[in-house]
Structure 1
């Protein structure tokens, strides 16, 4: 069983965790429908690439 030889310092731990962050979702506005949507997702009104996909 692997056991670290020394305690990991606070600095090393924080440096390792800097890449674990939450990114904001990309939201675009569609002028034709007047609706906001996330990239690669259907809009709130049920449209994707200008076509109605859900009811």
Structure 2
């Protein structure tokens, strides 16, 4: 439902579409950083807690 609304907005306003693509690029860069951050925390925190 929300995806349809977003697609309609993107079709109506190309400026919003350009903004969305730039934010998607930033988001795509952040995802691996956040993912690895959680992975590291998931490994380090139990190791510290077990001591």
The bucket for the TM-score relative to the shorter chain is 0.3 to 0.5
Computing the radius of gyration over CA atoms, which structure comes out larger, 1 or 2? 1
Higher RCO, 1 vs 2 (CA within 8 Å, ≥6 residues apart): 1
Which is richer in strand? 1
Tell me the TM-score normalized by structure 2. Answer: 0.34
Tell me the TM-score normalized by structure 1. Answer: 0.33
Which is richer in helix? 2
